[in-house]
Amino acid sequence: METEKSRSQKITSLFRPKSDSQETHKGEGISRREEEMRRKAEKLAREGLSDSDYSLLKIFAVIIATTISALLFSYALIFWPFFYAVVAGFFSVSLIALVPLLIKSWSLNLASAFTISIAFILPLFFLKNIPPIPAGIVAIFSIIVLMGGFISAKRELNNSLRISFTKFSGAIIARALTVIALVLAVAYGWNFQARALFSDQFISTMMTFASPLIEQRIPGFTPQMELNIFFDTFVRQSFAQHDAANFTLLPINLQQQLISQSTINLYQTIENSLGMDINLKASFQESLKTIILEKVVVPIEAIPAEHLALIATAIIFIAVRGPFWLLSWLVMAVSFILLQLLLVTKFAETYLEPRSKEIILIK
């Protein structure tokens, strides 16, 4: 049986120069980092640790930290606004991406993927209005997707001679963000309420952003402007811009009659198009709210609850997953910074691991 001493000598020989010519160019061919990794590999070989994880305490610390970060996302999704849940999810994914790199054992990697998946999907069973069957289907799918990400990342690491951070982390980050987007979509989709979405606050916020644009066409516009004044101003501006020469030649009383008739025609056309009466004494914002309520909210509420939840979930997932693809590079950058911190603090170290491979030759 091969002794530890002979094993160490064999591994050391993999890095030892084979000729005088190679010895001459040793300083040019091997960088300081590679030389340091060679010495670490020899140490690992002597200690018999080259094919197993080094510190079980640190390994479980990694698993616990990543699981807690996933639980933080779940907590934020249940109790905090949408934005904070997304930030918590991004931070969690940046930690999760390091697990296949820090833990060599396949069984521990899959166990980590399973516990993290469970932590991610907990909100589906605590939030109201989410039926058990859709929650269960999404939970199983999320577990499979995240475990697939771990397997892909681990294979990438095992099949590469050098660590390519973007390749192995990209494999798991993409799948983890998909799980987060799906959980967000189900959580908000099954609790979607049209009246809550198109609330007074939403309409006020929308008008705050739209008012400067409208004011460029309607001088003096405010959301509280009466609708009849709004139509009157709109018609006057239209005549002034498109037929100013002929309009100004008309007598004042004829100009006023033309404006009044055009205003009446305008709001009658809008009434016919909407199929509803318009209160000209109401403010612009109040009229907009009435139109949204009757023409958007009421038809949405007429859709069966299950169908509406599925539609809302699909729309939210597509709307969220697209930007997540762009932000995945930010998550990857945070993950890389965390890795460098672990290396600087000596929580983890880089080693050069010699590998043997079984082959068959015709001799």
Length in residues, the chain: 363
| Residue 81, token pair as written in the block | 């606004």
| pTM flag (> 0.85) | no
Q: Is residue 360 part of a domain?
A: no
Give the bridge partners for 226, in sequence order: 283
Compute how many other C-beta atoms are within 10 angstroms of the C-beta atom of residue 210: 13
How far CA 314 is from CA of 127, 173, 332, in Å, comes to 18, 21, 26
Q: Is residue 28 part of a domain?
A: no
Distance between CA atoms of 65 and 115, rounded to whole angstroms?
Answer: 11
Considering the domain architecture, whether residues 310 and 333 belong to the same structural domain is answered as yes
C-alpha closest to that of 73 among 86, 59, 60: 86
Considering the domain architecture, whether residues 60 and 143 belong to the same structural domain is answered as yes
C-alpha closest to that of 142 among 106, 183, 89: 183
Distance between CA atoms of 228 and 146, rounded to whole angstroms?
Answer: 58
Compute how many other C-beta atoms are within 10 angstroms of the C-beta atom of residue 277: 8
Interhelix angle 284-292/200-215, nearest 10 degrees:
130
Q: Is residue 7 part of a domain?
A: no
Give the bridge partners for 283, in sequence order: 226
| Residue 133, token pair as written in the block | 């069957």
Considering the domain architecture, whether residues 293 and 313 belong to the same structural domain is answered as no
User: Which residues of the chain, if any, have pLDDT below 50?
Assistant: 1-2, 4-29, 48-53
Q: Which domain holds residue 316?
A: 56-191+304-344
Considering the domain architecture, whether residues 134 and 172 belong to the same structural domain is answered as yes
| Residue 321, token pair as written in the block | 């997953």
Considering the domain architecture, whether residues 293 and 321 belong to the same structural domain is answered as no
Q: Which residues in 292-301 are b (16+ Cβ under 10 Å) and which e?
A: beeeebeebe
| Residue 247, token pair as written in the block | 């309009």
SS3 359: coil
- By CB atoms closer than 10 A (0-12, 13-18, 19+), residue 36 is middle
| Residue 214, token pair as written in the block | 């409208």
Considering the domain architecture, whether residues 121 and 88 belong to the same structural domain is answered as yes
pLDDT digits over 92-148, tens only?
999 999 999 999 889 999 999 999 999 999 999 999 889 999 999 999 999 999 999
What is the domain count for the chain? 2
